[in-house]
């Protein structure tokens, strides 16, 4: 069996005066390639901390993190930046689009950083925007798009260069239930068609209902692990 993510005895400790708080406590986790996995749990359960460490945005106190067989917790800043650029896609609840760029330009941006030629990145951006249902809206800037449309642009941007793993932190938090469901249907379709691994942190029951695997966290520990197919 092939795994996109392997975490071994992963811990993250914070110190407040004389008190030590374990945001994560010796977590062991394996995420199978092509999975659509949700991390659930209340605020403070450790799900965002875990997501950020897998994405190299935060560092563990102890333990190991492997992504695509590479030991990311020991990577240099330069190597981690390169991995984020080439192999990881990020989707945040606040969308994080560049306001002065159009939807098309936002999607092209990562490929431009990768050094892809202009025609290839234009073709790829056009194709992925069509795939996420935004054909005809390519030239609109974020302020001219609804929240759901902005999040579709964010997913398209994360997907366009073919990363092996997409990390999504509360992607439906700012969306109404109808828009959230449309987004989730689209993300599941992209997962099924492209085989990209999705790891999503959420406390939204709607998001959890779309998971192929649901991992429950509480006080920095995995307390439940439900596989649905």
Question: Is 95 among the domain residues?
Answer: yes
Domain count, the chain: 1
pLDDT score, position 115: 92
What average pLDDT score do residues 40-67 get? 92
Question: Is 75 among the domain residues?
Answer: no
Q: Report the greatest alpha carbon distance in the chain.
A: 57
Question: Is 104 among the domain residues?
Answer: yes
Split at pLDDT 50, 70, 90, the class of 207 is very high
Query: What domain range includes position 125?
Result: 88-162
Question: Is 10 among the domain residues?
Answer: no
Inter-CA distances, 131 with 28, 128, 200, Å: 35, 5, 21
More confident residue, 36 or 93: 36
Q: What's this model's pTM, rounded to 2 decimal places?
A: 0.91
Question: Is 122 among the domain residues?
Answer: yes
pLDDT score, position 63: 96
Question: Is 112 among the domain residues?
Answer: yes
Q: What percent of the chain has pLDDT over 70?
A: 100
Split at pLDDT 50, 70, 90, the class of 229 is low
Sign of the Cα torsion 159, 163, 164, 167 reads: negative
Question: Is 155 among the domain residues?
Answer: yes
Question: Is 7 among the domain residues?
Answer: no
pLDDT tens track for 144-157? 999 999 999 999 99
Inter-CA distances, 30 with 21, 68, 131, 203, Å: 24, 11, 30, 21
């Amino acid at each position: 069996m092939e795994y996109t993510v392997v975490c071994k005895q992963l811990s993250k400790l914070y110190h407040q005066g004389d008190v030590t708080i374990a945001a994560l406590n010796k977590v062991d986790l394996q995420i199978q390639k092509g999975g659509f996995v949700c991390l659930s749990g209340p605020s403070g359960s450790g799900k965002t901390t875990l997501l950020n460490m897998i994405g190299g945005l935060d560092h563990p106190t102890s333990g190991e993190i492997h992504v695509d067989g590479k030991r990311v917790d020991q990577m240099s800043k330069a190597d981690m930046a390169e991995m984020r650029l080439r192999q990881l896609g990020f989707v945040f609840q606040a969308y994080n689009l560049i306001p002065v760029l159009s939807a098309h330009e936002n999607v092209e941006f990562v490929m431009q950083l990768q050094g892809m030629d202009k025609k290839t990145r234009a073709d790829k951006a056009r194709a992925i925007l069509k795939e996420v249902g935004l054909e005809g809206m390519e030239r609109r800037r974020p302020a001219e798009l609804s929240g759901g449309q902005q999040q579709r642009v964010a997913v398209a941007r994360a997907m366009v260069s073919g990363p092996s793993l997409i990390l999504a932190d509360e992607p439906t938090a700012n969306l109404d239930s109808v828009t959230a469901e449309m987004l989730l249907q689209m993300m599941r379709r992209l997962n099924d068609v492209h085989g990209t691994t999705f790891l999503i942190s959420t406390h939204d029951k709607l998001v959890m209902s779309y998971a192929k695997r649901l991992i429950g966290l509480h006080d920095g520990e995995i307390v439940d692990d439900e596989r649905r197919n």
